Structure 1
């Protein structure tokens, strides 16, 4: 599939957490929109690909491709993506090999994240 601006046909919202301390020394995460919604391409990772990577479990793994901008290059693994009402934690961010104009974000549903993760919503 050719990667161009026309293939970015989904809207995602990036989220960033602010932290506060509760009265018992624990951390409370509050998620807020980080920038405006942006266009992305979504591709679900296939079961065969997950099985060959020995990563079979009960979570949805998705790859989002977005334009590489100064804003998008500032994303962190501690940020989150909201797409169609589902929160995704960011597992990895990399440049798309054949075109430096895009970034690929590997994301997992929040149900698949570890306990005590900042992605609990």
Structure 2
């Protein structure tokens, strides 16, 4: 049991960033009592970040570059509902979520969520 406690401390210690998952949701109503939809904070959590790749795209004579990263967060009732229709706000940028899966942290299976996200670096 001591080993798993050390693993938990090591995993928790690497959650050294703060990210906000945003969800497109009702944020109010207008003068006609119609819903106003916009991106709003859904959950703010501590995360570990690991860059996966960066790349350039060439399309119609234009160059674009992007950065793909994996963010690992603790699993919770709310974090288990995160999906690619949501997005991340981190370090002043917006990241589009490409995939979400259960993190595989050895004997810590089921305790973490891994989010793969990409942002433009232009």
CA RMSD between the two structures:
2.3
**Residues 32-47 of structure 1 mapped to structure 2, 5 A cutoff:** 32-35=40-43, 37-47=44-54
Q: If the length of structure 1 is used for normalisation, what is the TM-score?
A: 0.68
**1:25 counterpart residue number:** none
Aligned residue pairs: how many? Answer: 94
Q: If the length of structure 2 is used for normalisation, what is the TM-score?
A: 0.67
Name the SS for the 2:80 alignment partner.
helix
User: Which of the pair is proportionally richer in strand?
Assistant: 2
Return 5+ residue gaps in structure 2 as ranges: 1-6, 27-35, 58-64
**Does the CA contact (< 8 Å) of 2:53 and 2:67 recur in 1?**
no
Give the Cα separation in 2 of the matches to 1:5 and 1:86.
24
**1:106 counterpart residue number:** 116
Return 5+ residue gaps in structure 1 as ranges: 20-27, 51-55, 113-121
- C-alpha displacement of 1:29: 5.7
User: Do structure 1's residue 30 and structure 2's residue 28 form an aligned pair?
Assistant: no
- Which structure 1 residue ranges, 4+ long, deviate > 3 Å from structure 2? none
Work out which of the two has the higher radius of gyration on C-alpha atoms and give 1 or 2: 2
